[in-house]
Structure formats: structure tokens, C-alpha cells
């Protein structure tokens, strides 16, 4: 087995690295063997009583690595429920719906094809994070590597059991209950034309049959899983990966476009004019729609520190209570669970639902937006117009800096007359504009998101002023 371990693969929210260089079958098996011990401590039960869900995406390395993770968990004495090739949110569903003790999803999400990784879950489909659990797995693997790799001792645990399951039909039936399908199917006139881009990932197998049964005129692009990603990369947040779907929406006269990332737990929208819909505006739309369906007023809605003020403004207007939160799925899921939040949304396109085990989903936003368009009888650009006319946002801009911590202190001093928060990075709030600067978890970068309520020109001027401060005595990034 491998004798070296790169600690860099243990990230803030998952395990991730280059296949064959940082993560191979031997490292995967050791992680699999360490994981049940961490779950056992969290659950307060013996490893032999643990039941752990397992799934993998379509990457070429995933079947092999999934088998090695499974062998490690079985060697530790845990029982594995193996769902095979699924989208990430389907693994969340498996863990939540069957009340499993944890789960492991073999995926590198939106990363390029050379990568592999694993998302680690505890009971309730709650994610492990660098602050809680992932570093414990790292330490256990390091201890394993430091020990003798010889044959198992007589006191080794009995090997666990494995069960193969197919959850596609059960998953689709569950998510379809979040909308009234007849509202979508009952649209007057020709069927709604929708360009769907799966990024050659898991969206096609997961969401394809659902959308087909809603009576839509689907234009499919990169809809079949292909680990070589022949058309574009699996990250629709990058503008170069959206060009094809934008062209398809415009050339076909489609009503909208929907693009998913590689493991399909995030979806992104293009309106009928070819404009990309920012995640915070989509959060506001979904929050308003869900609050309108809520059986009682005052439901909590989470949004992240980078988001437009469109989100809290919309939530309050719709009778909800907005709460700002740290960026990251582990932090969102944990807080949603502890506070009973109805819904949460991140600028990065992660949308969380209380009635979906507080997990993020790429299927539910697509279904809810289609229902919203049919119910309102308006186009997506018309629904977004009030936000685009009032809230002028910069999007996320990265800058490389030598000392991110020192630079944030410089920012705090420079804007000392503003309201400030250190919930995640530093947030600077004035009456009619604000911004957040956060350090990257993996690179020497600072990430800026800025908004003005005055005009696009005012946003651009203030954006450039803040960037000049960030990049002074630093090397500008992308």
C-alpha cells in the first residue's frame, strides 16, 4: 500500500486531489478504513453497528476508488449500502431517507478530469468539514500509515456487510413532491423550450426522466455522462463553460437554459435573453416562492456573506426572517439543522432545503423555477428585472496577495467608519453599498464581492477602489 500521504488533500469541505498522484487506490482504502472510526465517535456507537452509504460519479477513476473505499470501510467492520453510480444529492438522499450513520460520495464535483475526491457525511446527511471530522480522518490515516502494514491481527474486527441498492426511482418520486407537476404540464401554448446542459456529468441520468415527464421541449447538450468532458469543463460558474448553452438558448429561442456541474448538486440558469442568473438573485426568487408555500409565517432563510442585499430584502418582504451565514455546505447544513431553516442559498449555486435533509440539490431548483415560471406566466428575465434594476453586483473577483490576513486588517482600518463583521472574512457595510472579502481555503487569494444600490457605474467605481487597495503591493489575480 502507499507509504506517503499528502495532507493537502484534506480540504475545508471534502477530500480532493489529483488521481494517481495525491489519491490512489491505496490511499482511498486507508481513508475508507479510517472513516468509520470517526463516525463511531460522532454517533456514539460501535463501528460494527454503523451503516454507511456509498456512491460514485462518472469519472474514469471512480468505480475503482469506490471499491477501495468500500473495502476499507468493510475491513473496519462497518456495513456499507452501495448505490453505485449516482449524483451527489442522491447519496445525500440515501443517507437521509434511510437514517444511515454516514455516507461517502466519490466525486471531484466541478474539478477538471484529472481530479478525484470524496465528500464525507455523518448522520442526517450532514457534511464533515475541516473544522469537524475531516482532519480527524487525516490523523487516523496518518496513524495507519505509521503502523505496520502486515497481516490483520487476531483481534481485527469482523468484516462488515455490503448491500447493493438502486435508488433512482425512489429519489425521483421524492423530489417531484416539491412541486405541482400539473402546473408545469398545464402551460398553455407550445411546450416550454428548455436547453439543458449536463456538463457531461450526472445530471442527465438523474434529472432527465423527471424533466421529460413534465412535457417540456428539451434541447439536450452534454447530457450523457462522459468523464473526458469533450465539450467543456464541468463547472458552469466559469464563463467559458457557459458559452455553448448561452448560444443554444439564443439560437433556439428557448425559454431558458439550465446547466449543472459535474456531480449535479448545483444548477445554474440562463434566461431567455442569454443572461446568466447570479446565485444570490436565484436565492431571492426561490426564497420568495418557498415562503409563499410555507404553512406558517416567519420561516428562517439562510444566505451567505457574499450575497446581494436582494436576498434579505426579499425574504423580509415575503414574511421570512433572513440570517447571514458562513460560506460552505458544511456550515449551511449544520446551521439549517440546528435552527430549522426552511431554505438556504449560496452565491456559488448551492441551494439547501429543510425538507430534503437540509442538503443541497441541483434537481429541486430546476423543478421549482419551472413551476414558478408556469405559475407566474412571466419569463425569467421579467421575474429578475426588479433585482437587476436595483441591485448592482460585481460578482466574485479573485486577487493574489502575499499575506491575506494582513491585507484584511488593512481593509478594516481603511474602512473603519463602516459597519464591520468578521463572520467570514471581513464584511464592510455602508448605507448604500457593501462588500465582503474572504481568503481562499486553498490558495493565497482574497475573494471580493461588492454591491451598490446606486448604479452600475457606482458599483464599478467602488469595486475598482477596493481592488486597488487589495492589490497594492500584491500581484493581481483573475
Catalytic: which of 61, 62, 109, 289?
109
3-state secondary structure of 160: coil
Picking from 289, 292, 432, the residue whose alpha carbon sits closest to that of residue 368 is 289
Got the DSSP string for 333-353?
HHHHHHHT-SEEE-TTS-EEE
Q: Among this protein's residues, is 109 annotated catalytic? A: yes
**57, 201 contact by CB (below 8 A):** yes
CA separation, residue 336 to residues 35, 46, 298, 317 (Å): 24, 28, 15, 21
129 pairs with which residues across the strands? 132, 133
DSSP state at residue 273: T
**342, 301 contact by CB (below 8 A):** yes
Please list, in sequence order, all residues whose beta carbon lies within 8 angstroms of the beta carbon of residue 412, skipping any fewer than 6 positions away. 420, 426
User: 10 Å Cβ neighbour count for 46?
Assistant: 12
**199, 260 contact by CB (below 8 A):** yes
Active site members = 109
Amino acid at each position: 500500500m502507499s507509504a506517503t500521504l499528502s495532507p493537502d488533500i484534506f480540504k475545508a469541505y471534502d477530500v480532493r486531489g489529483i488521481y494517481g498522484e495525491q489519491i490512489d487506490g491505496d490511499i482511498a482504502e486507508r481513508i475508507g478504513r479510517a472513516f468509520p472510526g470517526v463516525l463511531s465517535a460522532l454517533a456514539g456507537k460501535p463501528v460494527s453497528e454503523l451503516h454507511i452509504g456509498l456512491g460514485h460519479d462518472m469519472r474514469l477513476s471512480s468505480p475503482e476508488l469506490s471499491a477501495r473505499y468500500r473495502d476499507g470501510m468493510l475491513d473496519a467492520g462497518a456495513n456499507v449500502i452501495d448505490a453505485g453510480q449516482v449524483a451527489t444529492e442522491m447519496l445525500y438522499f440515501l443517507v437521509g431517507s434511510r437514517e444511515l450513520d454516514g455516507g461517502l460520495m466519490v466525486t471531484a464535483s466541478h474539478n477538471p478530469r484529472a481530479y478525484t475526491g470524496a465528500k464525507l457525511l455523518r448522520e442526517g446527511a450532514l457534511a464533515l468539514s475541516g473544522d469537524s471530522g475531516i482532519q480527524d480522518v487525516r490523523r487516523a490515516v496518518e496513524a495507519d500509515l505509521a503502523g505496520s502494514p502486515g497481516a490483520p491481527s487476531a483481534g481485527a474486527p469482523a468484516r462488515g456487510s455490503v448491500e447493493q441498492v438502486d435508488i433512482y426511482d425512489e429519489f425521483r418520486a421524492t423530489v417531484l413532491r416539491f412541486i405541482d407537476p400539473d402546473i408545469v404540464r398545464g402551460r398553455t401554448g407550445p411546450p416550454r423550450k428548455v436547453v439543458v446542459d449536463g456538463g457531461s456529468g450526472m445530471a442527465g441520468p438523474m434529472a432527465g426522466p423527471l424533466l421529460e415527464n413534465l412535457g417540456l421541449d428539451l434541447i439536450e447538450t452534454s447530457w450523457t455522462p462522459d468523464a473526458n468532458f469533450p465539450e467543456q469543463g464541468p463547472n458552469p460558474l466559469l464563463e467559458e463553460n457557459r458559452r455553448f448553452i448561452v448560444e443554444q438558448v439564443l439560437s433556439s429561442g428557448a425559454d431558458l437554459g439550465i446547466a449543472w456541474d459535474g456531480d449535479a448538486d448545483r444548477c445554474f440558469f440562463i434566461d431567455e435573453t442569454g443572461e446568466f442568473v447570479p446565485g444570490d438573485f436565484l436565492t431571492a426568487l426561490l426564497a420568495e416562492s418557498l415562503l409563499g408555500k410555507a404553512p406558517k409565517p416567519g420561516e428562517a432563510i439562510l444566505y451567505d456573506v457574499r450575497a446581494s442585499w436582494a436576498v434579505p430584502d426579499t425574504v423580509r418582504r415575503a414574511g421570512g426572517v433572513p440570517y447571514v451565514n458562513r460560506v460552505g455546505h458544511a456550515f449551511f447544513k449544520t446551521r439549517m439543522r440546528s435552527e430549522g431553516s426552511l431554505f438556504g442559498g449560496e452565491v456559488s449555486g448551492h441551494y439547501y432545503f429543510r425538507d430534503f435533509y437540509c442538503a443541497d440539490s441541483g434537481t429541486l431548483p430546476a423543478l421549482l423555477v419551472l413551476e414558478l415560471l408556469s405559475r407566474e406566466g412571466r419569463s425569467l428575465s421579467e421575474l429578475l428585472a426588479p433585482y437587476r434594476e436595483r441591485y448592482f453586483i460585481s460578482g466574485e473577483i479573485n486577487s493574489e496577495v502575499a499575506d491575506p490576513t494582513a491585507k484584511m486588517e488593512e481593509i478594516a482600518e481603511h474602512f473603519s467608519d463602516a459597519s464591520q463583521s468578521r463572520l467570514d472574512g471581513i464584511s464592510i457595510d455602508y448605507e448604500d453599498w457593501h462588500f465582503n472579502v474572504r481568503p481562499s481555503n486553498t490558495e493565497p487569494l482574497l475573494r471580493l464581492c461588492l454591491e451598490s444600490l446606486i448604479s452600475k457605474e457606482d458599483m464599478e467605481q467602488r469595486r475598482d477602489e477596493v481592488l486597488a487597495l487589495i492589490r497594492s503591493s500584491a500581484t493581481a489575480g483573475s
